[in-house]
Amino acid sequence: MSEAWADSGKRFFLTTPIYYLNGQPHIGHAYTSIAADVLARWKRLAGHKVFFLTGTDEHGQKVAQAAAAAGVSPQEFTDNLAADFRGMAEKIGISFDDFIRTTEGRHKAACQALWQRLADAGQIYLGHYEGWYAVRDEAFYGEDEIEERDGKKVAIASGAPVEWTREPSYFFRLSDWTDRLLAFYEANPDFMAPASTRREVTSFVKAGLQDLSISRTSFTWGVPVPGDPAHVMYVWLDALTNYITAAGYPDTSSPNWDFWPANVHIVGKEITRFHCVYWPAFLMAAGLEPPQRVFANGWLTIEGQKMSKSLGNGLDPLVLAEEFGLDPLRYYLLREVPFGNDGDFSRRAVIGRLNSELANDLGNLANRVLSLIAKNCEGRLPALTEPTEADRALLGPVEALPALVDDAISRQAFGEALERIWTVVRLGNSWIDGQKPWALRKTDADRMAAVLRSLHTALRTLATVLQPFMPETMAAMLDQLGVGQGARALSDLATPLADGTELSAPVPLFRKIEETA
């Protein structure tokens, strides 16, 4: 098992998108953050030095308009909402190491330093922008990317209304980067995932890139352009820079700078163009390393319907966590949909998985084993013995599990990781039924003890690898299994628990939920 965690001590920097402060956080935001959180927790468990960044995207026209609609200043508006987003992240167990707000001084300094570097490299020129802009997407669109729907011009990709914009603007020489980006993608096959993202982005770049407007003069809620404060920076240049701000930029002697380049940016699929095209181009143009990977998650619908402000169906993660429990909610979000695909959130499916996979498969297995140990072994962990062939049938897959989970999580295949884990949960259930430790009590007490010890080993491994997905419940499970706080990392699995460890009486880990109409 040691081979999988040989990288232990290595730095791992991962990020969520920074969320626009134009409304309350909803389950779509929670989805991306929970996935990133599982990855962060997994890497910590594997012994990496993790830097997990999340935060809020506070500038731009979209946020300025939302503040105006609320009748407050953008600063007051964003101060309030940023606190809501931060509070939400904390309440859903997001174990971030830094929460960045783009209105912070450190961020303004980083944006201006990056701008200056691009300008010094001859990558910026002053011109005039004339074209379509969608405030909702904070994106410029070409004539071929818009269409008319119900008498209104909208962006084809997102359906967001576009308006004709004409103003003086600084441009970034993105057109210089077409070939270098394609060469970069070619040399770094893991840079973009899933495959659909890689295909879409590559064909967008192959079609040829145009210079990008990177400043605006028609509003002021943004980072002023150095030397020309009539302009504020384009909100995406500002937003993307957050990732290096948090790594200490422009102070490249800061200890945090050792974390750059980021190992992975987790983003929604609608913002891959910004992360996979503009961002590496800005960085390479500034002489900085691009991130190693961008993983795009799909979109969640609610009971089959698109989440939208007008439908008012942007579910509040805290209400859901209240109803189902936070850990079952986290489990469901990563189990139901292969990460990277679009998927649906449905109450029925949550309840179905909670009852069958959590309460029945895992909860009952733990409860049966721990009750048998409490009843038949005086609540003490039976001694380790030489495994028989029957034991090997269980312990072989148990020992192989952490490396398989590591491989899946390192590819952001969270659903596959859970499927691997559940293969062992199901094996545990069929194995206990076959071994019948309750019947061995009278006929062969030694074998009963050995069987229970093998099952305990299986449960310990399961609870250990499941910690990133369900931190609270697995902490309780490890408590019940007698695994001390300091012995819960992947590398600790190599050290067996002491024979005779006292175990507390089992308490059910999951409650079943009645299905209501």
Interface residues with ligand MSP (CB under 6 A) are 17-20, 28-29, 31-32, 57, 239-240, 242, 267-268, 271, 297, 299-300, 307
Closest to ligand MSP by CB, 57 vs 336, is 57
Around Cβ 484, how many Cβ atoms within 10 Å? 11
Min. distance of Cβ 503 from ligand MSP in angstroms? 41
- Residue closer to ligand MSP by CB (options 80, 430) is 80
Unique residue bearing structure tokens 């980083």: 110
Task: Provide, rounded to whole angstroms, the least separation between the CB of residue 172 and ligand MSP.
Answer: 16
Q: How far is the CB of 333 from ligand MSP (least distance, A)?
A: 10
Whole-angstrom Cα distance, residue 182 to residue 276? 11
Nearer to ligand MSP, 18 or 124 (CB): 18
Least distance in Å: CB of 288 to ligand MSP?
A: 16
Shortest CB 313 distance to ligand MSP, Å: 10
Could you list the beta-strand ranges (E) of 124-280.
124-134, 139-141, 146-149, 152-155, 163-172, 192-193, 212-213, 215-216, 224-225, 228-233, 264-268
> Minimal CA–CA distance to 268: which of 312, 229, 299, 306?
299
CB of 510 to ligand MSP, least distance (A): 26
- Is residue 312 within a helix (H) or strand (E), and if so which, with residue range? none
What is the Cα gyration radius of the chain? 26
CA distances from 243 to 55, 189, 249, 490, 503 (A): 10, 22, 9, 29, 45
Closer to ligand MSP by CB, 76 or 342: give it: 342
Min CB(33)–ligand MSP separation in Å = 8
Nearest residue (CB) to ligand MSP, 288 versus 307: 307
504: left (phi over 0), alpha (psi -120 to 50) or beta: beta
Smallest distance from ligand MSP to CB 159, Å: 14
Burial of 313: CB neighbours in 10 Å, binned 0-12, 13-18, 19+: middle
φ, ψ at 304 (rounded to 5°)? 85, -5
Q: In angstroms, what is the minimal distance from the CB of 28 to ligand MSP?
A: 2
Cα torsion 173, 175, 178, 180: sign: negative
d(Cα 22, Cα 64) in Å, to the nearest integer? 8
Between 236 and 510, name the residue whose CB sits nearer to ligand MSP: 236
- Give which of 283, 275, 266, 264 is closest to 12, Cα–Cα: 264
Residue 235 vs 458, nearer CB to ligand MSP: 235
Whether the bond into 468 is cis, omega within 30 of 0:
no
Indicate the residue among 109 and 475 with the shorter CB distance to ligand MSP: 109
Select 58 or 211, whichever has its Cβ closest to ligand MSP: 58
Task: Confirm if 81 and 57 have CB atoms less than 8 A apart.
Answer: no
H or E, element range at 11: strand 11-20
